[in-house]
Chain A
Amino acid sequence: KQEVTQIPAALSVPEGENLVLNCSFTDSAIYNLQWFRQDPGKGLTSLLLIQSSQREQTSGRLNASLDKSSGRSTLYIAASQPGDSATYLCAGSYNDYKLSFGAGTTVTVRA
């Protein structure tokens, strides 16, 4: 069974600080890993998708890395802003037609 873990469950930082969000997975035969953002009462928005053959992906202030050998992915958000406050979820895809989600890290960026 593929398990995805996100620690910590919650994180609070002052505005301007860089955010580092961690995701670990038990099965290294991962097809890809996606990072999502979820605002309260809303759906999930895909932020970055990293294929198993890639080491990282970047989009604006966001950078995500993937290390299959250690079973880890990290999402970096540079120069955090209050608008970055949300829950961030990672999800691994294996060859079985589903995403295995972590429970998420809830981020609060203090102005």
Chain B
Amino acid sequence: NAGVTQTPKFQVLKTGQSMTLQCAQDMNHEYMSWYRQDPGMGLRLIHYSVGAGITDQGEVPNGYNVSRSTTEDFPLRLLSAAPSQTSVYFCASSYSRHMNTEAFFGQGTRLTVV
């Protein structure tokens, strides 16, 4: 049982480059989300999805796009990387869209923008 899988684990980008962070879950979860974790600021929600074809913005969506074409996958796209996007990114999933069930997290992607 793989759970939530994120790739890549590490990435260095130059300012202005774009890239996609991949997230896949094999638990048939309705709900998926992306968080970023910064020192002293905790985890902040970027985007979330309550099912295939449905996405919405979280607290810090600017500079990021998402799509949810299948239940399993929820990629996060950085459109034009900026140093302020240097962070650790976590993908999470939960069985229920209402977050009243346990949340499962991936191992994270550590992104550095230079």
Binding site for B on A (CB under 8 A): 4, 31-32, 34, 36, 41-46, 49, 51, 89, 91, 93, 95, 97-99, 101-104
Say yes or no: B42 contacts A101, CB within 8 Å: yes
A98 contact from B40, B45, B100, B110, Cβ within 8 A? B45
Please indicate which of the listed interface residues B31, B50, B98 has the most CB atoms of chain A within 10 Å of its own CB. B98
Inter-chain CA distance A98–B107, complex, in Å, is 19
Interface majority SS (helix, strand, loop, mixed), chain B? strand
Inter-chain CA distance A4–B41, complex, in Å, is 11
Say yes or no: A43 contacts B107, CB within 8 Å: yes
Can you name the residue of chain B whose Cβ is closest to the Cβ of A1?
A: B59
Say yes or no: A34 contacts B98, CB within 8 Å: no
Inter-chain CA distance A102–B42, complex, in Å, is 6
Say yes or no: B108 contacts A32, CB within 8 Å: no
Say yes or no: A98 contacts B33, CB within 8 Å: yes
Besides the contacts A44-B105, A103-B40, what 15 more A-B pairs have beta carbons closer than 8 Å? A34-B103, A44-B103, A46-B105, A49-B102, A51-B100, A93-B99, A97-B33, A97-B48, A97-B98, A98-B33, A98-B59, A98-B99, A99-B43, A101-B44, A104-B42
